[in-house]
Protein backbone atom coordinates (compact mmCIF):
# COMPACT_ATOMS: atom_id res chain seq x y z
CA UNK A 1 0.00 0.00 0.00
CA UNK A 2 1.08 3.55 -0.72
CA UNK A 3 1.86 6.24 1.87
CA UNK A 4 2.30 10.02 1.84
CA UNK A 5 4.34 11.45 4.74
CA UNK A 6 3.60 15.09 5.54
CA UNK A 7 5.95 17.08 7.82
CA UNK A 8 8.23 14.09 7.37
CA UNK A 9 11.36 15.39 9.09
CA UNK A 10 14.20 12.94 8.55
CA UNK A 11 11.73 10.06 8.30
CA UNK A 12 11.15 8.47 11.71
CA UNK A 13 7.47 7.88 10.99
CA UNK A 14 8.18 6.64 7.47
CA UNK A 15 10.73 4.09 8.71
CA UNK A 16 8.16 1.98 10.52
CA UNK A 17 5.84 1.86 7.54
CA UNK A 18 8.67 1.02 5.15
CA UNK A 19 9.84 -1.77 7.47
CA UNK A 20 6.32 -3.19 7.32
CA UNK A 21 6.25 -3.24 3.52
CA UNK A 22 4.44 -0.01 2.72
CA UNK A 23 5.67 2.15 -0.17
CA UNK A 24 6.17 5.80 0.67
CA UNK A 25 5.39 7.62 -2.59
CA UNK A 26 5.86 11.22 -1.44
CA UNK A 27 7.31 12.97 1.59
CA UNK A 28 7.01 16.68 2.30
CA UNK A 29 9.64 18.52 4.37
CA UNK A 30 10.15 22.27 4.46
CA UNK A 31 13.76 22.27 5.75
CA UNK A 32 16.14 21.39 2.89
CA UNK A 33 18.89 20.11 5.20
CA UNK A 34 16.50 17.78 7.01
CA UNK A 35 14.95 16.70 3.72
CA UNK A 36 18.43 15.75 2.50
CA UNK A 37 18.78 13.18 5.29
CA UNK A 38 15.43 11.71 4.24
CA UNK A 39 16.51 11.60 0.57
CA UNK A 40 19.88 10.02 1.30
CA UNK A 41 18.32 7.24 3.37
CA UNK A 42 15.31 6.73 1.08
CA UNK A 43 16.36 7.61 -2.49
CA UNK A 44 13.30 5.81 -3.85
CA UNK A 45 10.90 8.34 -2.28
CA UNK A 46 9.82 11.55 -4.04
CA UNK A 47 10.83 14.09 -1.39
CA UNK A 48 9.16 17.46 -1.91
CA UNK A 49 11.16 20.28 -0.32
CA UNK A 50 8.63 23.05 0.03
CA UNK A 51 6.23 24.81 2.38
CA UNK A 52 3.04 22.76 2.50
CA UNK A 53 1.07 25.99 1.93
CA UNK A 54 2.46 26.08 -1.59
CA UNK A 55 1.54 22.54 -2.57
CA UNK A 56 -1.45 21.21 -0.64
CA UNK A 57 -3.89 22.28 -3.38
CA UNK A 58 -1.50 22.80 -6.28
CA UNK A 59 -2.17 19.53 -8.09
CA UNK A 60 0.79 17.71 -6.49
CA UNK A 61 -1.73 15.51 -4.65
CA UNK A 62 -4.66 13.79 -6.30
CA UNK A 63 -7.50 11.58 -5.12
CA UNK A 64 -6.27 8.02 -4.64
CA UNK A 65 -2.57 8.91 -4.50
CA UNK A 66 -2.14 7.01 -1.24
CA UNK A 67 -3.89 4.49 0.96
CA UNK A 68 -2.42 6.06 4.10
CA UNK A 69 -1.37 9.59 5.01
CA UNK A 70 0.97 10.01 7.98
CA UNK A 71 2.54 13.02 9.64
CA UNK A 72 2.59 15.33 12.61
CA UNK A 73 1.61 18.92 11.87
CA UNK A 74 3.45 21.09 14.41
CA UNK A 75 1.17 22.47 17.09
CA UNK A 76 2.66 25.94 17.46
CA UNK A 77 -0.23 27.44 15.52
CA UNK A 78 -2.91 26.11 17.84
CA UNK A 79 -3.08 29.42 19.70
CA UNK A 80 -6.56 30.61 18.88
CA UNK A 81 -8.75 31.85 21.73
CA UNK A 82 -11.31 29.24 22.70
CA UNK A 83 -14.22 31.67 22.45
CA UNK A 84 -13.54 32.22 18.73
CA UNK A 85 -12.57 28.75 17.64
CA UNK A 86 -15.91 27.63 16.25
CA UNK A 87 -15.99 30.57 13.88
CA UNK A 88 -12.75 29.94 12.09
CA UNK A 89 -10.27 27.40 13.43
CA UNK A 90 -9.58 25.96 9.98
CA UNK A 91 -9.19 29.43 8.45
CA UNK A 92 -7.07 31.06 11.12
CA UNK A 93 -3.60 31.63 9.57
CA UNK A 94 -1.92 30.59 12.81
CA UNK A 95 -3.28 27.08 12.27
CA UNK A 96 -2.13 26.80 8.67
CA UNK A 97 0.05 23.75 9.26
CA UNK A 98 -2.87 21.72 10.52
CA UNK A 99 -5.15 23.18 7.86
CA UNK A 100 -2.92 22.01 5.04
CA UNK A 101 -2.59 18.51 6.51
CA UNK A 102 -6.39 18.51 6.54
CA UNK A 103 -6.50 19.74 2.92
CA UNK A 104 -4.23 16.92 1.70
CA UNK A 105 -6.40 14.33 3.46
CA UNK A 106 -9.47 15.93 1.91
CA UNK A 107 -7.91 15.78 -1.57
CA UNK A 108 -6.31 12.33 -1.47
CA UNK A 109 -9.10 10.64 0.50
CA UNK A 110 -6.90 7.89 1.97
CA UNK A 111 -8.35 4.81 3.63
CA UNK A 112 -6.76 5.96 6.86
CA UNK A 113 -4.48 8.63 8.24
CA UNK A 114 -2.15 8.79 11.23
CA UNK A 115 -1.50 12.11 12.95
CA UNK A 116 1.14 12.42 15.65
CA UNK A 117 1.27 15.36 18.02
CA UNK A 118 2.20 16.49 21.51
CA UNK A 119 0.43 14.93 24.46
CA UNK A 120 -0.80 18.36 25.54
CA UNK A 121 -2.93 18.88 22.44
CA UNK A 122 -5.86 17.39 24.37
CA UNK A 123 -5.79 20.15 26.97
CA UNK A 124 -4.76 23.19 24.89
CA UNK A 125 -7.35 25.96 25.22
CA UNK A 126 -9.25 23.82 27.72
CA UNK A 127 -9.63 21.03 25.17
CA UNK A 128 -11.57 23.10 22.64
CA UNK A 129 -8.89 22.79 19.95
CA UNK A 130 -8.83 19.00 20.20
CA UNK A 131 -12.63 18.86 20.01
CA UNK A 132 -12.51 21.01 16.88
CA UNK A 133 -9.98 18.70 15.23
CA UNK A 134 -12.26 15.74 15.91
CA UNK A 135 -15.26 17.69 14.64
CA UNK A 136 -13.94 18.85 11.28
CA UNK A 137 -12.65 15.40 10.25
CA UNK A 138 -16.05 13.90 11.07
CA UNK A 139 -18.04 16.56 9.21
CA UNK A 140 -19.78 14.90 6.22
CA UNK A 141 -19.86 18.21 4.33
CA UNK A 142 -16.06 18.39 4.39
CA UNK A 143 -15.62 14.96 2.82
CA UNK A 144 -18.39 14.54 0.21
CA UNK A 145 -20.56 12.62 2.64
CA UNK A 146 -17.79 10.20 3.69
CA UNK A 147 -16.25 11.63 6.84
CA UNK A 148 -13.58 10.02 8.99
CA UNK A 149 -14.07 8.39 12.36
CA UNK A 150 -11.25 9.42 14.68
CA UNK A 151 -9.62 7.27 17.35
CA UNK A 152 -6.87 8.57 19.59
CA UNK A 153 -4.48 7.35 22.24
CA UNK A 154 -1.55 8.69 24.23
CA UNK A 155 1.37 6.36 23.61
CA UNK A 156 4.31 5.96 25.97
CA UNK A 157 7.58 5.09 24.25
CA UNK A 158 8.75 2.89 27.12
CA UNK A 159 5.80 0.56 26.47
CA UNK A 160 7.13 -0.11 22.96
CA UNK A 161 10.58 -1.12 24.11
CA UNK A 162 12.05 2.35 23.56
CA UNK A 163 14.44 3.51 26.32
CA UNK A 164 12.98 6.96 26.88
CA UNK A 165 10.07 8.51 28.74
CA UNK A 166 8.45 10.06 25.68
CA UNK A 167 4.67 10.46 25.49
CA UNK A 168 2.82 11.53 22.34
CA UNK A 169 -0.73 11.72 21.08
CA UNK A 170 -1.60 9.48 18.15
CA UNK A 171 -4.79 10.24 16.20
CA UNK A 172 -5.98 7.69 13.64
CA UNK A 173 -8.74 8.45 11.16
CA UNK A 174 -10.60 5.79 9.19
CA UNK A 175 -13.67 5.80 6.97
CA UNK A 176 -16.34 3.13 6.53
CA UNK A 177 -14.60 0.68 8.86
CA UNK A 178 -16.23 -0.57 12.04
CA UNK A 179 -13.68 -1.99 14.46
CA UNK A 180 -12.85 -2.28 18.14
CA UNK A 181 -9.80 -0.02 18.64
CA UNK A 182 -8.54 -1.56 21.87
CA UNK A 183 -9.05 -5.12 20.68
CA UNK A 184 -7.06 -4.57 17.48
CA UNK A 185 -4.38 -2.69 19.44
CA UNK A 186 -3.86 -5.73 21.67
CA UNK A 187 -3.98 -8.13 18.71
CA UNK A 188 -1.24 -6.08 17.03
CA UNK A 189 0.96 -6.58 20.09
CA UNK A 190 0.41 -10.33 19.91
CA UNK A 191 1.30 -10.41 16.22
CA UNK A 192 4.51 -8.42 16.72
CA UNK A 193 5.56 -10.61 19.64
CA UNK A 194 5.28 -13.60 17.32
CA UNK A 195 7.91 -12.01 15.04
CA UNK A 196 9.95 -10.17 17.69
CA UNK A 197 9.53 -11.83 21.12
CA UNK A 198 11.45 -9.10 22.96
CA UNK A 199 9.81 -6.12 21.20
CA UNK A 200 7.95 -4.67 24.18
CA UNK A 201 10.51 -5.50 26.88
CA UNK A 202 11.64 -2.63 29.09
CA UNK A 203 14.93 -1.22 27.76
CA UNK A 204 17.49 0.80 29.72
CA UNK A 205 20.03 3.37 28.58
CA UNK A 206 22.75 0.75 28.96
CA UNK A 207 20.75 -1.76 26.91
CA UNK A 208 20.60 0.85 24.15
CA UNK A 209 24.06 2.46 24.02
CA UNK A 210 26.30 0.37 26.27
CA UNK A 211 28.23 -1.20 23.37
CA UNK A 212 28.99 1.96 21.38
CA UNK A 213 32.34 2.78 22.97
CA UNK A 214 34.35 5.97 22.53
CA UNK A 215 33.36 8.70 20.11
CA UNK A 216 35.51 9.67 17.12
CA UNK A 217 36.24 12.96 15.36
CA UNK A 218 34.49 11.93 12.15
CA UNK A 219 31.79 9.93 13.89
CA UNK A 220 32.74 6.62 12.25
CA UNK A 221 33.24 3.60 14.49
CA UNK A 222 33.59 -0.08 13.82
CA UNK A 223 30.30 -1.91 13.99
CA UNK A 224 30.11 -3.09 17.63
CA UNK A 225 28.91 -6.56 18.52
CA UNK A 226 25.32 -6.30 19.81
CA UNK A 227 24.97 -7.71 23.32
CA UNK A 228 21.31 -6.97 24.11
CA UNK A 229 18.06 -7.79 22.31
CA UNK A 230 17.49 -4.09 21.66
CA UNK A 231 20.95 -3.68 20.11
CA UNK A 232 20.35 -6.75 17.95
CA UNK A 233 17.04 -5.32 16.75
CA UNK A 234 18.74 -2.10 15.59
CA UNK A 235 22.00 -3.64 14.40
CA UNK A 236 23.34 -3.29 10.86
CA UNK A 237 25.42 -5.97 9.18
CA UNK A 238 29.00 -5.50 8.04
CA UNK A 239 29.37 -1.75 8.09
CA UNK A 240 30.76 1.10 10.13
CA UNK A 241 28.43 3.16 12.28
CA UNK A 242 28.13 6.90 11.72
CA UNK A 243 27.34 10.04 13.71
CA UNK A 244 29.13 8.94 16.91
CA UNK A 245 30.73 12.33 17.60
CA UNK A 246 31.05 14.26 20.83
CA UNK A 247 30.30 17.94 21.44
CA UNK A 248 33.32 20.11 22.24
CA UNK A 249 32.25 21.42 25.63
CA UNK A 250 33.87 24.36 27.38
CA UNK A 251 36.23 23.79 30.30
CA UNK A 252 33.55 25.23 32.58
CA UNK A 253 30.89 22.84 31.25
CA UNK A 254 33.19 19.81 31.60
CA UNK A 255 34.03 20.80 35.18
CA UNK A 256 30.34 21.09 36.00
CA UNK A 257 29.55 17.72 34.45
CA UNK A 258 32.37 16.10 36.42
CA UNK A 259 30.64 17.16 39.64
CA UNK A 260 27.23 15.71 38.75
CA UNK A 261 26.54 12.09 39.70
CA UNK A 262 24.08 9.70 38.06
CA UNK A 263 20.53 10.91 38.51
CA UNK A 264 21.64 14.36 39.73
CA UNK A 265 21.29 17.67 37.90
CA UNK A 266 22.33 21.32 38.23
CA UNK A 267 21.07 21.47 41.82
CA UNK A 268 24.13 19.45 42.84
CA UNK A 269 26.43 22.23 41.59
CA UNK A 270 25.41 24.89 44.08
CA UNK A 271 25.83 27.62 41.49
CA UNK A 272 23.48 29.61 39.27
CA UNK A 273 22.78 27.93 35.94
CA UNK A 274 20.94 29.94 33.30
CA UNK A 275 18.58 27.36 31.85
CA UNK A 276 14.84 26.94 31.50
CA UNK A 277 15.17 23.17 31.83
CA UNK A 278 14.59 21.62 35.25
CA UNK A 279 16.87 18.75 34.25
CA UNK A 280 19.72 21.01 33.18
CA UNK A 281 23.13 19.38 33.67
CA UNK A 282 21.42 16.11 34.46
CA UNK A 283 23.37 12.88 34.17
CA UNK A 284 21.72 9.74 32.82
CA UNK A 285 21.68 6.43 34.66
CA UNK A 286 22.64 3.17 32.96
CA UNK A 287 19.78 1.23 34.53
CA UNK A 288 16.95 3.68 33.77
CA UNK A 289 15.25 5.14 30.72
CA UNK A 290 16.23 8.50 29.31
CA UNK A 291 13.94 11.51 29.49
CA UNK A 292 12.49 12.61 26.14
CA UNK A 293 15.25 13.21 23.61
CA UNK A 294 14.87 16.83 22.48
CA UNK A 295 16.56 18.93 19.82
CA UNK A 296 19.09 20.17 22.40
CA UNK A 297 20.49 16.86 23.61
CA UNK A 298 24.02 18.07 22.73
CA UNK A 299 23.86 20.82 25.35
CA UNK A 300 24.30 20.06 29.07
CA UNK A 301 22.03 22.99 29.95
CA UNK A 302 19.37 21.61 27.59
CA UNK A 303 18.19 18.83 29.89
CA UNK A 304 19.27 15.49 31.32
CA UNK A 305 21.57 14.39 28.51
CA UNK A 306 24.98 13.84 30.11
CA UNK A 307 26.46 10.41 29.38
CA UNK A 308 26.21 8.01 32.34
CA UNK A 309 29.97 7.78 32.87
CA UNK A 310 31.65 10.31 30.54
CA UNK A 311 31.77 14.07 30.97
CA UNK A 312 29.98 14.87 27.73
CA UNK A 313 26.47 14.92 26.37
CA UNK A 314 25.08 12.16 24.20
CA UNK A 315 26.45 11.68 20.72
CA UNK A 316 23.96 11.80 17.82
CA UNK A 317 24.31 8.02 17.40
CA UNK A 318 23.54 7.45 21.07
CA UNK A 319 20.51 9.72 20.89
CA UNK A 320 19.40 7.92 17.71
CA UNK A 321 19.70 4.57 19.51
CA UNK A 322 17.57 5.92 22.36
CA UNK A 323 15.06 7.05 19.71
CA UNK A 324 15.16 3.49 18.20
CA UNK A 325 16.65 4.46 14.84
CA UNK A 326 18.37 1.52 13.13
CA UNK A 327 22.16 1.65 13.11
CA UNK A 328 22.35 1.94 9.32
CA UNK A 329 20.37 5.20 9.29
CA UNK A 330 22.77 8.07 8.57
CA UNK A 331 22.10 11.66 9.62
CA UNK A 332 23.44 14.44 7.39
CA UNK A 333 23.97 18.15 7.96
CA UNK A 334 25.29 20.45 10.64
CA UNK A 335 25.38 19.42 14.29
CA UNK A 336 22.40 21.67 15.03
CA UNK A 337 20.38 20.21 12.15
CA UNK A 338 21.20 16.61 13.11
CA UNK A 339 20.13 17.22 16.70
CA UNK A 340 16.88 18.70 15.41
CA UNK A 341 16.31 15.71 13.11
CA UNK A 342 16.76 13.20 15.92
CA UNK A 343 14.92 15.13 18.62
CA UNK A 344 11.84 15.84 16.52
CA UNK A 345 11.46 12.33 15.12
CA UNK A 346 8.81 9.77 15.94
CA UNK A 347 10.62 6.71 17.37
CA UNK A 348 10.66 4.16 14.53
CA UNK A 349 9.68 1.34 16.91
CA UNK A 350 6.44 3.19 17.58
CA UNK A 351 5.87 3.89 13.88
CA UNK A 352 6.40 0.20 13.06
CA UNK A 353 3.73 -0.71 15.60
CA UNK A 354 1.38 1.85 14.04
CA UNK A 355 2.01 0.41 10.58
CA UNK A 356 1.12 -3.07 11.82
CA UNK A 357 -1.93 -1.62 13.59
CA UNK A 358 -3.14 0.06 10.39
CA UNK A 359 -2.76 -3.31 8.65
CA UNK A 360 -5.09 -4.81 11.24
CA UNK A 361 -7.65 -2.05 10.72
CA UNK A 362 -7.63 -2.37 6.94
CA UNK A 363 -7.97 -6.14 7.19
CA UNK A 364 -11.31 -5.48 8.93
CA UNK A 365 -12.38 -3.49 5.87
CA UNK A 366 -11.66 -6.46 3.63
Q: Which domains does the chain have, with CATH numbers?
A: 2-198+348-365 (3.40.50.150)
In whole numbers, what is the pLDDT of the chain averaged over residues? Answer: 91
Distance separating the N- and C-terminal Cα atoms of the chain: 14
pTM of the model: 0.94
Q: What is residue 133's predicted lDDT score, i.e. its pLDDT?
A: 85
Mean pLDDT to the nearest integer, 270-299: 90
Q: What is residue 322's predicted lDDT score, i.e. its pLDDT?
A: 98
Higher-confidence position of 238 and 108: 108
Q: What is residue 97's predicted lDDT score, i.e. its pLDDT?
A: 79
Q: What is residue 273's predicted lDDT score, i.e. its pLDDT?
A: 76
Of the candidates 62, 56, 167, 150, the one whose C-alpha atom is nearest the C-alpha of residue 112 is: 150
CA distance 89 to 132: 8
User: At residue 297, does pLDDT exceed 90?
Assistant: yes
Question: How confident is residue 39, by pLDDT bands cut at 50, 70 and 90?
Answer: very high
- Residue numbers annotated as active site: 75
User: At residue 86, does pLDDT exceed 70?
Assistant: no
Amino acid sequence: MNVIDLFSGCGGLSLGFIKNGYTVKKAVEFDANIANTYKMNHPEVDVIVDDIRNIDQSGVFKTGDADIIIGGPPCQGFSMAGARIRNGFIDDPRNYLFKHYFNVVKTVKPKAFVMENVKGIMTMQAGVIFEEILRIFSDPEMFDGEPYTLHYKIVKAVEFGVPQKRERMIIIGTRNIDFDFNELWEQTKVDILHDYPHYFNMVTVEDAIGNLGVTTTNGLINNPEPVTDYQRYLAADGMKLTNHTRTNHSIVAVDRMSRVANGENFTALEETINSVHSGSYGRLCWDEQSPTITTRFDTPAGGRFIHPIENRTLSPREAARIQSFPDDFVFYGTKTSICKQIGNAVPPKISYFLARFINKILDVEV
